[in-house]
Amino acid sequence: MQVEGYSLEAQRERLTKFADFQDIEIVREYCDAGKSGKNITGRPEFSQMLNDVAEDRDGVDFILVFKLSRFGRNAADVLNSLQYIQDFGVNLICVEDGIDSSKDSGKLTITVLSAVAEIERENILVQTMEGRRQKAREGKWNGGQAPFGYTLDSKNSTLIVNPEEAEIVKIIFTKFAHEGLGADRICDYLNQHGYTKKKVKKKELNYFARSFIMKILDNPVYTGKIVYGRHKTEKVKGSRDEYKRVMADDYMVVDGMHEAIIDRDLWEATRLRRKDTGVKWNKTHSMDHEHILTGIIKCPICGRSLVGTVRRRKNKKSGEYKDDWYYKCLHRTKIDETHFCDFRLVLSQVELNSQVEQIILDMVADPQFKDYMVMKMDEKVDVSSLEAERDQVREQLRQVVGAKKKLAEMLDRLDVNDKHYDRKYQDMHDRLDILYDRISELEDTIAEIEEKISGAYGEKITADELYKVLLSFDRMYFKMTDLEKKRFMRDFIDEIELYPERQEDGRILKQLHLGFPVFYEGSEGDTIRLLKQNTVETVVLLSQQKADDYIEVELELDELDLTSAESKATYKEIQEYVLKEHGLKVSNLYISQVKRKCGIEVGENYNLPKSEESRQPQCPEEKEKAIKDALEHFGMI
């Protein structure tokens, strides 16, 4: 951290000179550049320093800081951290303040100064906030990005109306207040009529989403007002350093220096409708129901998770209500620059849940499945290669530490009267720096390897728990609550793929990607591909006897449903490659279009439009190039 008037380099130089004068060896530096000393949270280097002290990483006796405020500005944190390092025999020296905690008066001085530093920090915060509050009173914009509909005149701290965006703001308020459209329908209207918004951040959407519409509807800035203090930071009860942002009950609203986009009547009409529609929905029926497959069942067009919905019907005779539950896509994701997802199927939860459950039931009913599960649970975690790698790195570390010690001894034996003393001293210091860098790299490598070893044991425990449930799946699963079923499915299944349209036999499930390998239909794997029901199996008797005659058979791959090119990579593997190498998301539809262009058979009717008149988005040139690159990578073209 930078002290007022002292750069980080100046602090480092001052500490180095002090260490040389006191004959103290500096073994490691910790620098939280740009971080606040308000608390320990958010200071990774400080936390690492405390961990290194606890693990006796360098065998240090002292921690040097430029000033006490660099150690911390929260009195409780300073004293707790000081007590923590002293428990491990390490003391604190504050060079500029002349404090040494190993001396009798040191801790008393630290207690007083840390309290002063905390008060100073709070005073700076109060002064800063008061300055911003005064700016708001004057009707000026208080910093940050200008709201949609305006541009910022940073010189005068005022907002200037952006005519194009202001027109969209008027449409949003009018559609909501006078035409009865909700936020979702307003999004659809704007997106379908070609309205876009400028990307402020790299990952931000250039089309309209529900949350964006709601922020506009609730922002008084569009009536010519400036709001200050609408949100405040509140301490989490029972914690010391945890805070959360909450809505303030009382905040400042003043006339701004900028021009209003909507009039007062339209704003008041919006507030009335927000009061009626902005009621938080609480579940009152089917309290135990959970959408079991949400989060893992994906839309085949845009790749987003399907959501659970309900349709409630009333029996006219009995007056009772019946709930029908479904999975559907919300169509909020663009699959290219101009088209949104158009997956229109609404899928019955009862039907889809039952199909997935039946697949698992068929799997566990296989006589070989139980033997496979028992074998997997008896398997020990093989981390021998990781342990061997760790031992090699430890040996390298031992050698480098030995070299460092020898070089330090040579440095101590240098004769100050030697005419080349300065050059030798500098040369040895440079070599020491290189060795310390190497030691740090090796220690980090060891820590990474040990983390991988711990992770391997953790995965083994989770897998064993799932395997135990699977062994008794037919008895345990149907006794679970919906919430327990949902947790099991999320632990066991990573993703469920669907076909874009129902197949001829009515199937919609394509394949299941599992979190752990299982035994299914005679083989081990973590993917269950659901083959067509009319698949023809060919059984061939192979004999080792000498054949009396030969029959030559030629097979044309074009006549088969699966070409050799198709078998080399799945749609999911192609999507993952394109996302990793090109940063683009591509749909199954686009992949099938490019495959057809490249002469790869994808099935007679796969991803074709329902009719000649129906419109179908075409793969953009940029994504087509990325998909072709993936096809070349997998050797398919």
| Closest alpha carbon to 227 in 99, 288, 150, 139 | 139
Average pLDDT over residues 246-267: 87
Q: Is position 435 within any domain?
A: yes
Are 230 and 266 found together in one domain?
yes
pLDDT band at 240 (very low <50, low <70, confident <90, very high): low
Higher pLDDT, 32 or 604: 32
pLDDT for the residue 3? 47
pLDDT-derived band at 561, boundaries 50, 70, 90? very low
Q: Name the pLDDT band for 162 (thresholds 50, 70, 90).
A: very high
273-282, 297-306, 518-527, range with greatest mean pLDDT: 297-306
pLDDT tops 80 at residue 619: yes
Instruction: Decide if 374 is inside a domain.
Output: no
Contact assessment for residue 498 and residue 300, using Cβ atoms and an 8 Å cutoff? yes
Instruction: Say how far apart CA 244 and CA 148 lie, in whole Å.
Output: 26
Copy the structure tokens of residue 26.
């500096």
Residue 425 falls within a domain, yes or no?
yes
pLDDT at position 467: 67
Tell me what pLDDT residue 175 has: 92
pLDDT over 70, % of the chain: 76
Residue 1 located in a structural domain:
no
Q: Closest by alpha carbon to 470, among 523, 537, 515?
A: 515
Alpha helices (H) along 254-366: 264-277, 349-365
User: Do 28 and 22 form a contact (C-beta atoms < 8 A)?
Assistant: no
Between 277 and 591, whose confidence is greater? 591
Asked if residue 546 is part of any domain, the answer here is: no
Average pLDDT over residues 175-182: 90
Do residue 133 and residue 245 come from a single domain?
A: no
More confident position, 468 or 544:
468
For the chain, what is the mean pLDDT?
Answer: 78
Same-domain pairing of 75 and 20: yes
Of 229, 247, 277, the position where a domain reaches its end is 277
Q: Are residues 231 and 87 in the same domain?
A: no
**Residue 559 confidence (pLDDT):** 46
The 10 Å Cβ neighbour count of residue 101 is: 21
What pLDDT score was predicted for residue 267? 93
pLDDT in the model for residue 534: 47
310-338 pLDDT, tens per residue?
887 777 777 777 888 999 987 666 666 66
Whether 229 is covered by a domain: the verdict is yes
Q: Of 145, 120, 24, 124, whose CA–CA distance to 67 is shortest?
A: 120
Angle at which helix 571-582 crosses helix 621-633, to 10 degrees, equals: 110
Would you say residue 194 lies in a domain?
A: yes
pLDDT of 173 higher than 90: yes
Residue 440 lies in a domain: yes
- Specify whether the CB–CB gap between 153 and 160 falls below 8 A: yes
pLDDT in tens, 392-419: 888 888 888 888 888 878 877 778 788 8
Coil, strand or helix at 245: strand
Question: What mean pLDDT comes out for the span 613-617?
Answer: 58
pLDDT band at 43 (very low <50, low <70, confident <90, very high): confident
Query: 173: domain range?
Result: 150-277
Q: Quickly state the pLDDT bin for 565 (edges 50, 70, 90).
A: very low
Q: Is residue 241 very low, low, confident or very high in pLDDT (cuts 50, 70, 90)?
A: low
500, 386: one domain: no
Which CATH number characterizes residue 432's domain? Answer: 1.10.287
* Single residue among 137, 171, 199 that ends a domain in this structure: 137
* pLDDT over 90 (residue 222): yes
Least confident of 208-212, 343-347, 377-381: 377-381
Residues 582 and 517 in one domain: no
pLDDT at 144 over 80: no
Pair 384, 521 in one domain: no
For residue 622, give Cα distances in angstroms to 454, 615, 616, 625: 42, 21, 18, 5
Claim to verify: residue 511 and residue 399 sit in the same structural domain: no
Measuring CA to CA, how many Å separate 64 from each of 16, 41, 349, 430?
10, 20, 63, 22
> Tokens 């039952």 belong to which residue?
354
Task: Identify the CATH number of the domain in which residue 217 sits.
Answer: 3.90.1750.20
pLDDT tier at 562, thresholds 50, 70, 90: very low
Q: What is the total count of domains within the chain? A: 5
Q: Are residues 359 and 503 in the same domain?
A: yes
Token pair 């062994």: residue: 471
**Does 133 lie in the same domain as 106?**
yes
- 177 or 32, which is more confident: 177
Q: In whole angstroms, give the CA distance from residue 322 to residue 359.
A: 28
Phi, psi of 310 (to 5 degrees): -135, 145
Last residue of a domain, one of 89, 107, 137: 137
Q: How far is CA 9 from the centre of its chain?
A: 35
* pTM exceeds 0.85 for this model: no
- What does the pLDDT average to over 9-34? 85
Q: Mean pLDDT, to the nearest integer, of 24-48?
A: 76
168 and 271 fall within a common domain: yes
Does 57 lie in the same domain as 13?
A: yes
pLDDT band at 64 (very low <50, low <70, confident <90, very high): very high
Is the CB of residue 132 less than 8 Å from the CB of residue 143?
A: yes
Q: What pLDDT score does 163 carry?
A: 93
Query: For residue 2, is pLDDT > 50?
Result: no
